[in-house]
Structure formats: C-alpha cells, structure tokens
Amino acid sequence: MVLTKNGRLLFNSVPVSDGIVPGTLRYDESEIIDLDAAPLNGGALFKLLAVSADPFLTALMSPAYSESAFEHLTYKIGKPIVAYAVIVALRSEIPTVKPGDHFMNMFPLEEYFIIDCLPERTVPLPSDVGIPWSTYVGVCGMPGQTAYMGWKEYSKAKKGETAFVTTGAGPVGSFVIQMAKRDGLKVIASAGSDEKVELMKSFGADVAFNYKTANTLEILEREGGIDVFWDNVGGVTLDAALQASRSKARFLECGMMAAYGATDGPNAIIKNIWNIVGKSITMVGFLVWDLYEGHLDDFYTTVPKLVADGEIKYREDVTRGLGSLEDAMIGLFKGTNVGKAVGIVADE
Amino acid sequence: MVLTKNGRLLFNSVPVSDGIVPGTLRYDESEIIDLDAAPLNGGALFKLLAVSADPFLTALMSPAYSESAFEHLTYKIGKPIVAYAVIVALRSEIPTVKPGDHFMNMFPLEEYFIIDCLPERTVPLPSDVGIPWSTYVGVCGMPGQTAYMGWKEYSKAKKGETAFVTTGAGPVGSFVIQMAKRDGLKVIASAGSDEKVELMKSFGADVAFNYKTANTLEILEREGGIDVFWDNVGGVTLDAALQASRSKARFLECGMMAAYGATDGPNAIIKNIWNIVGKSITMVGFLVWDLYEGHLDDFYTTVPKLVADGEIKYREDVTRGLGSLEDAMIGLFKGTNVGKAVGIVADE
C-alpha cells in the first residue's frame, strides 16, 4: 500500500470578468490515493507530468458557454479543471495502454487519476526523441500543431512574399514566424511589450514591433503590404491588415483575442471588409483538429525531431508544481508571461 | 463604297454621385464609316451585336479610379465607353479572325470599329448552339461565368445543405440559385422587390424574400442557418449571414454593392466577423478570370447547351438600339430593371 496525497486544481468560482482571477481556482490536497491498490475497474491509473496554461480555458468557465467544441469539458464548481496535459500510465487494465506509455490530450488537473478509457483525439507520444515532456503541450502540442498545420494547409506561402504574424512572441505565433522564414518569406511580427519584440527577433522576424507603442497600419504600409496574415487578435489589427493587404492575400484566422467580448469600441467592428472582394482575399477560420487528417502523422514525425535538433526554437515560461499554476494562469491573462506558459507537475 | 452612319455611345461627363445619371453618356451619330473600303492596316472591322449593362461600369467613370483590374479601360470624356459586348467580324486582315467569327469581351460601344488585334481574354463564340447572341453577355457571359465557376470552385456544396443567395433575381444570383438547386441544396434568396421575389421562385428558390420589407436575420435563423452564402451586397446582409452561419460555412464574396462608398451607417461596418473563427468559416473574394484556367473550357462546352435545352433559365431586360442604352443603365442603378440588362444593337 502506497498512500499518497493527490494534489488537485479545482474550479472554485466563476470569474465575474474575463480571465482567471485570484479565487477562481483552488489547490486541494485533501484526497489520498493508494497508487498500488486503487481499483482500476478496467481502466488505468495515470500520473500528471506537464500541463498547458492556455487563454481559451476561460471559455470553459462560463456556465453560459454552449457553442464551443469543448462544451462537454465545461468546468464544474468543486471539480478539477481540465487542460492540455502530458500523462504517463502507472498501472493499466486497458489493453492498448502499458505502464510507462505517455499521452497528450485534455485531462483533469490531478496529480493522479483513474479513467476508463483514453478520450477521443488522445495522442500517444514517442519516448525516444530527447525533448522535455513539457514541449508536448507547447511547441509539439496544440499550439505547435496549430501553427504547423494551419500554415501548411492555408498559407499557400511563396518565397519572397511578406507575412504578418500577430502575438508573435506566443507559442503559436513564434512557431508561425519560423515556418514563414523556412518558406523564404519576409516576416513582420507584433506583440505587446519591448521584451517580446526582442524575443520575436530571436525567432527570426525581420520587422518586429510593439503594437502598444507603434502604429500597425503605418508599419504594414511602409513594408509594402502583406500576402499572408496570421491573425490571433482580430479587431483594429485585422482592419489594418485588410487595408494593407496585397491582392490574393491569405488571412489565417486563428483567434480574435482583442474582439472576444468587445461589444463596442474599435475592436468590436470591422470597417475594411470590402477589401476581401476588391483584393480577392481568402479568409479562413479553422480548428486544428479539423486538420489532423492529413497532417498529424507528418507533424509527429517531423516537429519533435526539428525541436530536438534546434531547428525550431521555442520559449517556455515554466511553473513548478500544480499548486502554483493558478498564478501562472493569472499572469497569462495579464500578458506578463513571456513564452509558452507550462506547468511541470512531476519529473516522471 | 458603303457609307454608313456609325452610332457611338460616348462618355460625356463624370457623374457627381455613384451610378449613371442623365447626361453621363451621349449618343453620337456624326461619324461616317465606309464598311467596304475603310483601311484595316492589319486589323479587322467588327460590328457590334449585343451589349451588357453592368453595375461595375461606374467604376470606370471615376478619374480617381486606380486599383481596378479594369484600370486600363477607364473612360475618357468624348470617347466611346467600353462594356462587355458580342461582336462579329465583317472584314479581317488578322490571320486568326475570319468574317462571320463572333467574339465576346469588353469592347468600345460603337456600331462599327476597327482594331489591330483582339484584346486579352477575348472569348471566341460558337455559332451552332442556337441561343441568342445577347445570352453571351448574360447567362453565357461574365455573369454566368461568375456564377458557374465561382460556385464550382468555392461552394463545396453538399446535398441537403442550405444556401443563401443575395440579388437572386439578377444575372449572377439567378444562375447561382439554379446551380445550388442542381446540387440538391435548399435555397434562400433575397432581392429588393416583390416582382423579383416571384422571379426568384421561378428560378427555383425554396424561400424567397424582399429584403426591404422582411428581416434577413430572422428568416435565416428561422430556416435553420446557412452553409453557403453567395454575397453580392455586403454590409448588414453579410453581418446577418455571419450570425446565421453554420459551422464550416463557405462565404463566396462576389460583390458588396451595399458597402461600396458607404463611409458610415450600418452598411459601412461589420460586427460579427469573429464568427469566422468561432464557426470555422471560409470567406473567399474572387475575380472570375482568375478561375478561367480549369473552368473556361468546361463552361463553354456545358452552359450554352444547358441554356439551349432550357435546363438553365435566364431573364433578360432587353433594350434595342445603342442610343437607348443610357436609359437602361440608369434603370440598372435605380434597381428598376428585372433580369439581366442587355442592349441589342443589331440582329447580325
């Protein structure tokens, strides 16, 4: 009998405003688990290794939230929250799962948990690549998949063209900058602090600027317009990109952080949409898992190796311990973190 | 020697507001041409048979107009205006042109003219299909091409889906309605008069409404949302379509008549663009000649025959004589015409 405290990150209260605030989550250590003897009932016992802190998690906190692809994961008060995580199997009665196998998907944030079966879209992870498990929720996880698959499927990038990448210091944007440079494009990238501007340059951006202190439209026009727009923000930035677009530009609509919840003000409206007709622009909204067919195998045979070889760079903002993750998530919404926010829960 | 009066439709004055108004054009018969003996100097003498009156022609009237694909055709005061037309060769020193050959492209609106060579994108017309020449500037001309090629390339239509077609009584929209019905979709169509509503039903629309007296959003939502949007208007109608869109809808951005020149008011802004991300919408602006490669041969082997067989229906608003075309064009901008506005200049 190995009795162990099972730390859990619980949903404590629905935040009034957007984002996670102090008191939204609660770390709890009251549960005890017997790692050797807890009955599996045909399932498997897993240990949490690494966790991803993502902005979209707030969407799971609203009781009114009903149109999301994650609806079934909506948080319940007093229960562990769910997030992208890497787990390892300790014991298993599931035929396809062996002790020591690693997986990535959205899982409950408990140090240990027993589940009947692996949920849909669970990705089995290789064990021989030599990169940290935390990378599988970042550069080799959903953010990396989004950047790599979205770019491959929709950018139609041609050497010599110009790309504009928003949130270029974040986990998706920093990968997109590198994809664009590998395809021979000039890259303009934006983020919200001077520290992030330097980080974007280190990822290869030719022109990097702080959108809080510079005029986006002026910069795009000075650089001669754009052929590919990677949109993570929407609002006035999207409007500027429409205005500065070249003919037949491709707009990859990955997110609209500035527009979510904006009911008035400049980020709530788009004035330049007619450019879609005038300039024959293609604008594509997409969800990464709609691209899994045809891209996922390529991703996992290609990207972890590129990361291991240093060909694709990444930056992590690491928090140690499940109990410290709430602060990391609050930082994410304040924009104070630099790099992909990950939590290391255990070292195997 | 056959001396003939050569009627010409000249550009007389730049309209102050949008559209063509009385005095914008001037019909002139002062020129005399010798049809037998006028020197060709290596070119060919053509006779004008049928002319297309199109809303986009106003774009050629502005001296400030500089970003159009038609820039080289911008109208000059005192010179014949240019429009889509069907012509027949009377005499020719061009090796590839024989007397009796018919062609369609943008040509000067003169009853007779001599040109050195056929301009780029000139379409040679078949002579054995048994449909009127006027159809080659309508259902078998650019409006038909736009509907047929745009739908084939971008609609990704699946049987049982729902399409929403704006300006459904016009030459493009009425063809799109029929394409959608042939693919097994439910079709919702809108136009600006009750007479046009009846016309749209005759083209096969399942739900047809007058947008001036009905609420577009209410109708789209009552019908359960849309999978394909054929946009000829933009503005508030586009906003309603975004709100009523189903997941993974395709928006074919053919035109934004309501948004052109709108600098304030509801048609100047879009509030629901975030649906592109939330619903994985693809929005494509396109120009028909970018689709010629891969579609033009198919179009001319398929569509004239379908029209001749009555499989594709069309409605024309015919004006006879080049001198009467100004009135037809004014009607076009007032929205008083029903069906494709064409001018029959001569019967061969």
Tokens 């409950």 locate to A108
Q: Chain-wide mean pLDDT for chain A?
A: 91
Per the CB < 8 Å rule, is A274 touching B284? Answer: no
Check residue B66 and give its pLDDT.
46
Q: Report the topology of domain B3-138+315-344.
A: Quinone Oxidoreductase; Chain A, domain 1 (3.90.180)
**pLDDT beyond 60 at B266:** yes
- Residue B290: which of A277, A280, A286 has the nearest Cβ? A280
d(CA A127, nearest CA chain B) in Å: 34
Per the CB < 8 Å rule, is A276 touching B285? Answer: yes
% of residues, chain A, pLDDT over 90: 74
Please, what is the angle between helix A296-308 and helix A142-154, to 10°? 120
Least confident of B60-64, B209-213, B281-285: B60-64
Q: Which residue has the higher pLDDT, B312 or A60?
A: B312
Q: What φ, ψ does residue A267 adopt, rounded to 5°? A: -80, -10
pLDDT digits (tens, 9 = 90+) for B90-104: 999 999 999 999 999
Which tokens sit at B37? 């003996």
Check residue B216 and give its pLDDT.
98
| Residue of B274, B288, B289 to mutate, interface with A, max A Cβ within 10 Å | B274
Domain ranges in chain A are: 3-138+315-344, 142-290
Check residue A259 and give its pLDDT.
72
pLDDT, mean of residues B213-224? 98
- Residue A287: which of B255, B268, B280 has the nearest Cβ? B280
Q: Which residue has the higher pLDDT, B19 or B152?
A: B152
Least confident of A177-181, B144-148, B160-164, B294-298: B294-298
% of residues, chain A, pLDDT over 70: 95
**pLDDT beyond 80 at B72:** no
Per the CB < 8 Å rule, is B67 touching A278? Answer: yes
Check residue A326 and give its pLDDT.
86
Check residue B330 and give its pLDDT.
82
Per the CB < 8 Å rule, is A277 touching B255? Answer: yes
Strand partners, B283: A283, B251
The three-state DSSP-derived secondary structure of chain B is CCEEECCEEEECCCCCCCCCCCCCEEEECCCEEECCCCCCCCCEEEEEEEEECCHHHHHHHCCCCCCCCCHHHCCCCCCECEEEEEEEEEEECCCCCCCCCEEEEEEECECEEEECCCCCCCEEECCCCCCCHHHHHCCCCHHHHHHHHHHHHHCCCCCCCEEEECCCCCHHHHHHHHHHHHCCCEEEEEECCHHHHHHHHHCCCCEEEECCCCCHHHHHHHCCCEEEEEECCCHHHHHHHHHCEEEEEEEEECCCCCCCCCCCCHHHCECCCCHHHHCCCEEEECCHHHHCCCCHHHHHHHHHHHHHCCCCCCCEEEEECHHHHHHHHHHHHHCCCCCEEEEECCCC
Least confident of A238-242, B70-74, B169-173, B235-239: B70-74
Closest-CA residue of chain B to A289? B280
| Residue of A236, A243, A276 to mutate, interface with B, max B Cβ within 10 Å | A276
pLDDT digits (tens, 9 = 90+) for B269-287: 899 999 999 899 999 999 9
Check residue A1 and give its pLDDT.
77
**pLDDT beyond 80 at B203:** yes
Per the CB < 8 Å rule, is B277 touching A270? Answer: no
Per the CB < 8 Å rule, is A276 touching B287? Answer: no
Q: Which residues of B touch A (CB under 8 A)?
A: 67, 234, 238, 248, 253-256, 259-260, 268-271, 273-287, 290
**pLDDT beyond 70 at B71:** no
pLDDT digits (tens, 9 = 90+) for A240-274: 999 999 999 999 999 887 776 667 778 888 999 99
Whether complex ipTM tops 0.85: yes
Give A-chain residues touching B264 at CB under 8 angstroms. none
Per the CB < 8 Å rule, is B285 touching A286? Answer: no
d(CA B137, nearest CA chain A) in Å: 22
Per the CB < 8 Å rule, is A285 touching B282? Answer: yes
Beta strands (DSSP E) in A150-268 are 162-165, 186-191, 207-210, 226-231, 245-253
Domain A142-290 has CATH 3.30.465.10: no
**pLDDT beyond 50 at A66:** no
Same CATH topology for A3-138+315-344 and A142-290?
no
pLDDT, mean of residues A292-314? 94
Closest-CA residue of chain A to B287? A280
pLDDT, mean of residues B211-234? 97
d(CA A243, nearest CA chain B) in Å: 13
Sign of torsion, CA B234 B235 B236 B241?
Answer: positive
**pLDDT beyond 80 at A73:** no
Per the CB < 8 Å rule, is B280 touching A286? Answer: yes
Model confidence at B170, pLDDT cuts 50, 70, 90, reads: very high
Check residue B153 and give its pLDDT.
98
**pLDDT beyond 60 at A153:** yes
Check residue A15 and give its pLDDT.
80
Per the CB < 8 Å rule, is A259 touching B253? Answer: no
Which tokens sit at B189? 């169509």
pLDDT, mean of residues B23-52? 95
